[in-house]
C-alpha cells in the first residue's frame, strides 16, 4: 500500500484536499494548492469541483466569526481557537463533501500576539489525561456541521477533519473523542492531520473510539508527538507510531548541519524551520508527483529536498548521520526526491530510488542496486557500485550518465515512451568523446573516457515501454 494509505485504500485525494484546506486555515488563505497532479481551489464564492468557504448563514450557525470569516472558539477557555468550514459542490449545485480545518498556533495579523498567547494556553489542555479541546472549543459548530451534512443527504464519512500543528493535535483529539461527541456521529469522519503535536492512546491508527487517524509528520519537525504519555517530550520523541509517517524527512537548510546535530528538539530554534504548513504542502506535492509513490509505504524512508535556492548547488540531499540522535535508518533503502530546482541528490549504502524532478540535477546513487530518475532538465547521473537502473523522461534536453556499465546497469526509457530498440539512434564521438543515444528530441550522453565499447549496445541494455 502507498505512503498515504487510509481506511485500507490509497488516500491521495483525501490528503491532497486536506493539505489544501489546512494550508488555507493556517493563515495562508491560499486560493489554490497544488498537490501532485491535483490542483485544489479554495474560494469564498461557490467553486464547482473546488472548495467553498461556508459562511455562518449557509451553515446555519449562530456564533462568533471574525472579519476573515473564521469561526472562533465558543468558550472563554478556548476563545482563541479558530476553524474554517468548507463545502464542495458538483455541477448541479449539490454538496458532495464538507471540510473542517482547525487552525494551528497564531491568528489574524491584527491580533497575532494576543491570539498566540491564547493558543499556548490551549496547548495545556492536551496535558490532561482526557483532553476535550475540540468539543469544548467548537461544540455548537459541530452541531451545525452535523445538521448541514444531514440536510444535504451526507454522513460523517463525507467529512474531512484536518489541521496543522495545534490543529493537527485537535484532529487527533476529535478522533479520540468521536464516540462521545454527539452520540458518536463523527466516528466515520476522515481524520487527516499534519504536524500533530499530540500522540493518541498507544499511537495506533485505528483508535478505541472506532475512528481511524492518519497524520503526515516530518521526522525532523520538532513538534510531532511532542506531547505523549501525558507529558511534554522536550528533547524529542522519535517513536515510530502506527498513525503517522515514520521516516519522512524535509531536507531543509539546517538538516544535516551542526545546528541540527541534537536531532531537532523543540528547544532548538533552527529545527522549527521544517514546521510550516507551506513545507508540508510542498512535500505532499512532491510525494504525489513521484513515479514511485505506489512503492512508498507508511514506514518508508522518504527524503524530500527542501533546500533554499542558494543552498541547492552546494549541498547534497541524502540520508544524514545525526551525531547526537540515532535515526535508526542510516544506510537503509531510501526514496530521495528532488524539487523543481537544480538539486544535488545522493544515495547511501542501501538500494535507493532517486528522482530529480525539474531543474539541472546532479544525482549520485551510492553503493546499492539503485534506481535513478532524471526528471526534466539537463541532469548528470552517477550510478556508483551495484547494478543500477537509469530512468529517463522525454523532456527535450541532454542528460549524461558518467559511469554506465554494460551487462550490469540498464537504461529505462519506458517513461519516455520508447518501445523498441530500433527507435534509437547513436552517435559515437570517438576517443575521449561521449557516446550519445538519441530518441525523439532527447539526447542521452554516456561518458566513456578510454572505454569505447558502447557501440555494441543492444536491446538487453535497455528497458522499453510495453
CA angle 192, 195, 201 (to 5 degrees): 70
Catalytic one of 22, 47, 165, 205: 165
Cα separation, 74 vs 92, in Å, equals 34
Active-site residue, 414 included? no
Question: Quick one: CA torsion of 394, 398, 402, 408, rounded to 10 degrees?
Answer: 30
Set of cell numbers at residue 266: 523543540
Comparing C-alpha atoms, which of 366, 363, 367 is closest to residue 339? 363
Give the β-pairing of 334-337 and 380-382. Answer: unpaired
Could you tell me the three cell numbers for 190? 476522515
Q: Which three cell numbers stand for residue 36?
A: 501532485
Question: Vertex 157, ends 184 and 155: CA angle to 5°?
Answer: 75
Which residues fall within 8 angstroms of residue 380, CB to CB, at 6 or more apart?
A: 361, 362, 363, 399, 400, 402
Q: Measured between alpha carbons, how far is 319 from 302 in angstroms, rounded to an integer?
A: 9
Whether 71 contacts 61, CB under 8 Å = yes
Q: 299: which 3 cell numbers?
A: 514506514
Nearest CA to 171 out of 284, 297, 286, 19 is that of: 19
Q: What's CA 377's distance to the chain center, in Å? A: 23
Catalytic residues: 165
Amino acid at each position: 500500500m502507498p505512503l498515504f494509505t487510509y481506511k485500507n485504500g490509497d488516500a491521495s485525494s483525501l490528503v491532497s484536499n486536506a493539505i489544501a484546506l489546512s494550508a488555507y486555515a493556517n493563515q495562508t488563505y491560499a486560493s489554490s494548492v497544488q498537490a501532485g497532479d491535483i490542483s485544489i481551489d479554495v474560494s469564498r464564492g461557490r467553486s464547482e469541483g473546488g472548495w467553498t468557504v461556508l459562511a455562518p448563514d449557509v451553515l446555519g450557525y449562530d456564533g462568533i466569526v471574525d472579519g476573515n470569516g473564521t469561526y472562533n472558539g465558543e468558550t472563554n477557555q478556548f476563545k482563541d481557537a479558530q476553524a474554517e468550514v468548507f463545502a464542495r459542490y458538483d455541477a448541479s449545485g449539490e454538496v458532495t463533501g464538507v471540510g473542517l480545518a482547525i487552525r494551528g498556533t497564531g491568528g489574524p495579523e491584527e491580533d497575532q500576539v494576543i491570539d498566540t498567547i491564547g493558543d499556548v494556553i490551549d496547548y495545556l489542555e492536551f496535558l490532561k489525561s482526557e483532553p476535550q479541546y475540540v468539543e469544548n472549543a467548537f461544540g455548537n459548530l459541530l452541531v451545525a456541521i452535523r445538521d448541514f451534512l444531514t440536510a444535504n443527504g451526507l454522513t460523517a464519512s463525507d467529512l474531512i477533519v484536518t489541521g496543522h500543528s495545534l490543529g493537527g493535535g485537535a484532529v487527533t483529539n476529535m478522533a479520540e473523542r468521536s464516540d462521545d461527541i454527539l452520540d458518536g456521529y463523527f466516528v466515520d469522519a476522515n481524520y487527516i492531520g499534519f504536524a500533530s503535536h499530540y500522540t493518541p492512546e498507544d499511537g495506533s491508527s485505528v483508535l478505541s473510539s472506532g475512528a481511524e487517524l492518519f497524520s503526515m509528520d516530518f521526522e525532523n519537525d520538532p513538534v510531532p508527538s511532542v506531547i505523549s504519555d501525558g507529558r511534554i517530550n522536550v528533547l524529542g520523541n522519535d517513536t515510530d507510531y502506527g498513525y503517522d509517517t515514520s521516516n519522512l524527512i524535509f531536507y531543509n537548510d539546517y538538516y544535516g548541519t551542526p545546528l541540527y546535530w541534537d536531532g531537532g528538539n523543540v528547544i532548538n530554534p533552527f529545527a522549527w524551520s521544517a514546521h510550516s504548513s507551506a513545507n508540508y504542502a510542498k512535500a505532499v506535492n512532491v510525494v504525489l508527483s513521484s513515479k514511485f509513490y505506489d512503492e512508498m509505504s507508511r514506514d518508508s524512508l522518504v527524503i524530500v529536498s527542501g533546500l533554499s535556492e542558494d543552498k541547492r548547488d552546494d549541498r547534497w540531499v541524502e540520508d544524514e548521520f545525526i551525531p547526537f540522535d540515532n535515526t535508526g535508518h542510516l544506510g537503509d533503502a531510501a526514496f530521495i526526491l528532488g524539487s523543481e530546482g537544480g538539486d544535488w541528490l545522493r544515495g547511501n549504502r542501501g538500494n535507493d530510488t532517486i528522482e530529480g524532478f525539474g531543474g539541472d540535477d546532479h544525482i549520485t546513487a551510492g553503493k546499492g542496486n539503485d534506481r535513478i530518475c532524471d526528471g526534466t532538465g539537463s541532469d548528470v547521473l552517477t550510478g556508483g557500485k551495484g547494478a543500477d537502473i537509469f530512468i529517463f523522461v522525454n523532456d527535450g534536453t541532454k542528460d549524461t550518465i558518467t559511469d554506465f556499465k554494460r551487462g550490469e546497469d540498464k537504461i529505462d526509457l519506458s517513461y519516455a515512451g520508447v518501445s523498441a530498440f530500433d527507435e534509437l539512434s547513436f552517435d559515437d564521438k570517438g576517443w575521449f568523446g561521449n557516446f550519445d543515444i538519441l530518441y525523439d528530441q532527447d539526447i542521452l550522453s554516456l561518458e566513456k573516457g578510454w572505454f569505447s565499447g558502447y557501440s555494441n549496445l543492444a536491446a538487453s541494455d535497455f528497458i522499453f515501454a510495453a
